[in-house]
Amino acid sequence: MQAANLAGVKRFVMLSSAYSMDQAMWGKVKTLRDITDYNIARYFADKWLVDESGLDYTLVQAGILTEEPGTGKIELNPAQSDSNAIPDVAHTIVAALAEPATVKKVFIIKNGSTPIEEALKTC
């Protein structure tokens, strides 16, 4: 983030973990309980990006990454986090760069039925 600022790069998209900024969820979701140290690190990195970086950020919070074929479809801000095909996570990150609706937004994704570009327009 600091290097982006020094280089004059304003647009910054970062992959994070589902519920990284919601500490109450860390004890409620088993997969999150198992990675508490990671959640702590993510929390501080994510908070810095959102509150201190000054960048035009997008924070993509994914659930469990799975090695399966992508579908080009996601669900945005689901009631419960779930699995994410790695190709769809990568597609979401790239698509977020071009979608103005994602600037200064934090959102959770999971495998879903809405085309990625269409879902991101609703941020």
Instruction: Tell me the catalytic residues.
Output: 38
Distance CA 16, CA 1 (A): 14
| Spatial contact of 123 and 105, defined as CB atoms under 8 Å apart | yes
